[in-house]
């Protein structure tokens, strides 16, 4: 019998009918569904398969764990083999779920910046009818995308459809898709930065991506560039971002991620007019649960049949 534990919370649950679909795969499956606010340690100790975000300090006690599937695309603290009791645990993520909602969030931030929508929202509150003439076009601009997985490629498709030139940065070279104008390798980051009117960060948090954007990189950029970070807060050296924003080295930033999170009340980012902040919600969607479950269900079928799983995380690369 395969023992499965699903740990739900306020942003993750199984969709309607999911339990029946799991049971159809194998009548010998034992499924436990529990809220993260409850004491799930006894169930965690018994589980062979876990779907959710178990507390990392408890994972070591999961003595029967063979496969952990995360509801997120980011793996962060789970991509550390030292937190597991056994070194052959499979770790998979939900990459492929979040591209569309995050792309919409990216363009929401860009358009809010370009069309002064944040300022107009404040003006409405003050009943102030005041036109703002400093407007930026998105069409005919250049969009640079750091990271070209599901999220980066989805952003690229939409940017191209809206008439932008699209540049992408990748660790390894691939054939250039029709919706990308040029692919740069990591060593050519400076070239991409110099060309971009918009810089979109979609990279995972790894030792190699930490602090990839700092003072030197800001000074290579156009002073009109708008940066959107939906990857991880650690991608940008935050104190140097604040310096760049205050000194108008760049025109603004849309941040869905910060370092740390939640953003402390004394952070200067709260007070900067050229910053749009959202609390790590770019991936939220009312249809996420269904898409996450489809990935898990397909992987569960493969697991039961002894086949290769999708979205396996490389512990060395941290993604």
Residue 145 pLDDT = 98
Question: What's the rounded mean pLDDT across residues 129-134?
Answer: 96
Among left, alpha and beta (phi > 0; psi -120 to 50; other), residue 105 is alpha
Residue 237 pLDDT = 98
Residue 280 designated active-site: yes
Q: Cβ(206)–Cβ(317) under 8 Å?
A: yes
Q: What are phi and psi of 203, to 5 degrees?
A: -70, 155
Q: Cβ(86)–Cβ(64) under 8 Å?
A: no
- Give the pLDDT confidence of 217-270 residue by residue, as tens digits: 999 999 999 999 999 999 999 999 999 999 999 999 999 999 999 999 999 999
Residue 94 pLDDT = 98
pLDDT confidence bin for 45, thresholds 50/70/90: very high
Question: What's the rounded mean pLDDT across residues 147-159?
Answer: 97
- Give the pLDDT confidence of 170-221 residue by residue, as tens digits: 999 999 999 999 999 999 999 999 999 999 999 999 999 999 999 999 999 9
- Taking only Cα atoms into account, the Rg of the chain, rounded to an integer number of angstroms, comes to 21
Q: What are the residues whose beta carbons fall under 8 Å from the beta carbon of 286, sequence distance 6 or more? A: none
How many Å apart are CA 258 and CA 254, to the nearest integer? 10
Enumerate domains of the chain plus CATH numbers: 3-97+286-304 (3.40.50.720), 99-277 (3.40.50.720)
Token match 């640079």: residue?
Answer: 144
What pTM value is reported for the model? 0.95
Catalytic residue, chosen from 115, 280, 291, 301, is: 280
31 sits in which H/E element: strand 30-35
Could you count the other beta carbons within 10 Å of the beta carbon of residue 37?
Answer: 9
H helical segments located in 60-175: 99-114, 117-125, 150-161
**27 pLDDT above the threshold of 90:** no
Coil, helix or strand for 102? helix
Q: In what order do the strands lie in the sheet with 30-35?
A: 30-35, 3-8, 49-52, 67-69, 90-92
How many Å apart are CA 35 and CA 149, to the nearest integer? 31
How many Å apart are CA 182 and CA 164, to the nearest integer? 12
Q: What are the residues whose beta carbons fall under 8 Å from the beta carbon of 271, sequence distance 6 or more? A: none
Question: What's the rounded mean pLDDT across residues 278-294?
Answer: 98
Q: Cβ(289)–Cβ(46) under 8 Å?
A: no
Residue 232 designated active-site: yes
303 sits in which H/E element: helix 288-304
Give the chain's mean pLDDT: 97
HSE value, Cβ hemisphere, 13 Å, CA-based, for 18: 21
């Amino acid at each position: 019998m395969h023992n499965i534990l699903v740990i739900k919370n306020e942003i993750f649950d199984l969709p309607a009918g999911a339990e029946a679909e799991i049971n159809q795969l194998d009548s010998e499956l034992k499924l436990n569904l529990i809220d993260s606010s409850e004491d799930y340690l006894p169930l965690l100790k018994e589980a062979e398969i876990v779907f959710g975000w178990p507390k990392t300090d408890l994972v070591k006690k999961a003595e029967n764990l063979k496969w952990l599937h995360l509801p997120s695309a980011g793996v962060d603290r789970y991509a550390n083999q030292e937190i597991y009791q056994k070194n052959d645990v499979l770790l998979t993520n939900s990459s492929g779920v979040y591209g569309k909602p995050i792309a919409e969030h990216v363009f929401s931030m860009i358009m809010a910046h370009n069309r002064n929508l944040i300022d107009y929202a404040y003006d409405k509150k003050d009943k102030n009818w005041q036109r703002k003439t400093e407007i930026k076009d998105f069409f005919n601009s250049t969009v640079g995308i750091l990271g070209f997985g599901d999220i980066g490629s989805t952003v690229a498709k939409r940017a191209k459809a809206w008439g932008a030139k699209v540049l992408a940065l990748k660790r390894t070279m691939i054939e250039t898709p029709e919706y990308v104008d040029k692919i740069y390798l990591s060593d050519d980051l400076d070239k991409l930065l110099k060309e971009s009117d918009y810089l979109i960060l979609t990279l995972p948090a790894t030792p190699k991506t930490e602090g990839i954007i700092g003072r030197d990189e800001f000074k290579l950029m156009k002073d009109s560039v708008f940066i959107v970070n939906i990857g991880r807060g650690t991608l940008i050296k935050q104190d140097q971002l604040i310096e760049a924003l205050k000194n108008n080295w760049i025109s603004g930033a849309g941040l869905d991620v910060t370092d740390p999170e939640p953003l402390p009340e004394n952070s200067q980012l709260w007070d900067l007019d050229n910053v749009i902040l959202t609390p790590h919600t770019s991936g939220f969607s009312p249809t996420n649960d269904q898409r996450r479950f489809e990935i898990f269900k397909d992987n569960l079928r493969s697991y039961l049949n002894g086949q290769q799983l999708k979205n396996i995380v490389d512990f060395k690369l941290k993604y």
